[in-house]
A and B are shown apart, each in its own frame.
Chain A
């Protein structure tokens, strides 16, 4: 059996010194309702680093740049391929996925230092972890699913042109990351606290209600567009249109177009918003005539 120096699997081994370091400043918060504070960490540079590998190093070091022992910075991630949406945060002032934020590029933008902050439109759970359950609640409100009869064998779905498949695929790549909400001037943070003596269930119900009255946001409008153009989805399109014209619906959008610029999946959000706006107007009129 070979015992060459290279036989130790394929991890990136420690290379010979000297090593470059760079600083990472993180806006930390120990829990909901707590004060946030900045903390500086120092990390050794390695080839092919992204912000995730930086956070992994910070967790392993558990020490600030000054050498003070601290709890690891909390953050969320899963796929590390920019397809699950988990790792969204504000990196050097820009909302994006940490897994595709390459260290060398960030350092070229702003030498010596990387700045990490949690998204500002969602309640912070801890450090860089925010509570995005409002987005999932919104998906319930807009009935983002196809109302099929059953999961038994009923043959294939409807035929579809390449063009409409392309459109649907584009919309359906939305990974619920929340970038489009972070930059939207109309999408405001909703953060409630437990009232004294309030049960968990009562709190959750109150929170759900607040979420449901808040602005849907660009991603949800695009999802309505997706389901309402699907031949099966069309069958209950009116219910989604009701959500579109209800409180927090498409009328809230001020058409600032920030959302479309930051969507990592290049979803044509403003096109969907325009289409939804027209459908909503039409829906209001029809409801009025049908009275």
Chain B
């Protein structure tokens, strides 16, 4: 049999684990990446990776609970079989990474150590110092290098993926990519294509993501006909350090160890924070949520910080939104012992010592739950049938997607430390699925393979030369990118209003039209970063429009998608009968809402570049959806009413 060749786009955790597994299965891989793969964005992950383990198991934990936490955290928007399978694989994945040499922290007895993360009661998170993502990525990078030396992997680093090659029957036969050093555009023929290109944070201007996370590869695949699912679900992290170039994550543990969030009561009080007396400080989280204080769930913290700055005008600075996160009252010894690593980050980038003065932080776009639509095949026990060609295959034959750029595992909201897991898991299971798809499919390229390559390269060359020819445009791509970021950040992050979304959509259309008139300041043919950036900017618009349109259409609150206009009325009455009625009404609304909105948003692009939305049922057949009541006023009563209903319902289905 002829050797089978696969192109993998992206060398983060997902792309590298896919490459390594494909090579082990005897396939050859061409690995394409904007950056050397060892420098991929996955290195940024600090916190850790989740799995049930020996210890938690003995405290009552089980794969089922990890599964339950994940779908509950995701507000039930994800298909359950893939999540169930992933949580079952998780302990084995950690074992594998351990064997590959990841320097996981150890207990005194020499076992792997685990910490507790948000959204669960168990210490499930394995970690390697403060750079778990880096350590995981290096272990995979090393294995891929081993396959490279063995002749099974070719790397195309500093190459920009431009789009798939589809034959006359619409089957993918490889892709076109451009060398960003020599600017050569080339066809990479292959039997299948795996997209593992990560998140799209740059659509929001600045985010916690790396500079390669521009969404271009996902967008180009989407423009070629692959569906984009749940695009409107964007996770915003409550605490990031605003920087001129990037918003850097400040870990939740700062609040976990006693850090307090506040703003001066006097708007933009010019005094240094340590000179503002206690009674002139507004500890808004503690005042509004006396029970949870500074440790309210992520989405609530994010929303309150956002509101206090935007609606109440109490931002610490005038020109820039931020609030204080203060640990300066905590004993220096505790800070050094427990928070040393993260405080160093602040000091390194802000040049200010947070042990002495309050840090300035603000929410930042952090993760994209949505992404390229992928299929799966359900097994008899409710998990996945491993080796099915359907797993992670998109709606275009032989195009697959894995990692943050797919939409599969996190529903409406991702739990901390679950992404590294889903990236490695999807990368590993896509291997057998790609092999099966190739073996089951037809080898013959519909139309001629040579002319397909020629045509595809020609199309991308024309686009490239048209861009280069534009040296007299009136618009600056870097400034347009900043404007796009502002529009998207304002309308489509923490709090979403329909009128804002409408306005933003119109603004994005206008920016898109202006982008078509971008001038290039570099028209050369050597390492031209200007043209690569401009092309990536142009490809942000289809994603931006899809995010906005999906958010506009979805009139409900779910996970990271919060629309005050659609919020369910809380239980506020004092009269017990009225309270009960309100709780009943809440449950009715909740069910009606699920009937309408517990659906995957599926976007496809029409020829004029407009996203078209349809909706697909979600497989929630294993764990029935239930309300997420964390922080809801009257939550206890609603829960009681809800549980009664469920009991009645179950009784009703028992025969006889």
Contacts and interface: CB of A to CB of B under 8 A. Distances in A.
Interface in A53-88: 53, 56, 59-60, 62, 69-72, 74, 76-86
Nearest to B530: A72
A69 B110 contact: no
A79 B106 contact: no
Contacts of A11: 205-206, 320, 482, 485-486, 489
Contact of B129 (A70, A146, A153, A169): A169
Contact of B530 (A49, A56, A59, A76): A59
A83 B44 contact: yes
B108 A162 contact: yes
B530 to A, nearest CB: 5
Interface residues of A, number: 82
A100 interface: yes
A52 B245 contact: yes
A1 B110 CA distance: 56
Interface stretch (B283-291, B518-526, B622-630): B518-526
Contacts of A14: 319
Given A9-B205, A10-B242, A230-B101, A140 B479 contact: no
Given A6-B313, A9-B205, A145-B146, A69 B521 contact: yes
Nearest to B565: A1
A48 B87 CA distance: 41
A161 interface: yes
Interface stretch (A172-180, A209-217, A242-250, A273-281): A172-180
A46 B242 CA distance: 13
Interface in B354-379: 362-364
A77 B212 CA distance: 9
B21 A151 contact: yes
Residue among B101, B131, B181, B246 with max Cβ neighbours from chain A (10 Å): B101
A148 B100 contact: yes
A62 B519 CA distance: 11
Contacts of B488: 9
Nearest to B99: A157
Q: Which of A77, A161, A169 has the most CB of B within 10 A?
A: A169
A165 B529 contact: no
A154 interface: yes
Interface string A151-165: 101111101111001
Contacts of A2: 310-311
A50 B243 contact: yes
A227 B100 CA distance: 11
A253 interface: no
B309 interface: yes
Interface in B279-324: 309-311, 313, 315, 318-322
A70 B311 contact: no
A232 B479 CA distance: 51
B112 A156 contact: yes
Interface string B478-503: 11001001111110010001011000
B196 interface: no
Given A49-B244, A139-B145, A161 B135 contact: no
A59 B480 CA distance: 13
Nearest to B208: A81
Contacts of A70: 521
Contacts of A139: 142, 145
Interface in B33-66: 35-36, 38-41, 43-44
Contacts of B493: 9
B345 interface: yes
Nearest to B527: A126
A113 interface: no
A12 interface: yes
A78 B110 CA distance: 35
A143 B92 CA distance: 25
A160 B107 CA distance: 9
Interface size bracket, B side: 35 or more
B495 to A, nearest CB: 9
B425 to A, nearest CB: 12
B313 A146 contact: no
A140 B149 CA distance: 7
Nearest to A98: B245
A199 interface: no
Contacts of A153: 92, 95-96
Contacts of B44: 79, 81, 83-84
Interface in B81-120: 92, 94-96, 98-101, 103-112
Contacts of A157: 95, 98-101
B561 interface: no
Interface string A77-114: 11111111110000000000001101011000000000
Contacts of A10: 242, 247, 320-322, 362-364, 489
Contact of A48 (B111, B211, B350): B350
Contacts of B138: 172
B351 interface: yes
B348 A82 contact: yes
B310 A6 contact: yes
Interface in A18-74: 30-31, 46-50, 52-53, 56, 59-60, 62, 69-72, 74
Given A81-B345, A139-B142, 9 more contacts: A8-B490, A9-B486, A48-B244, A59-B521, A71-B530, A99-B245, A125-B181, A157-B99, A157-B100
8 contacts: A1-B497, A1-B500, A53-B245, A78-B35, A104-B351, A145-B145, A169-B103, A227-B101
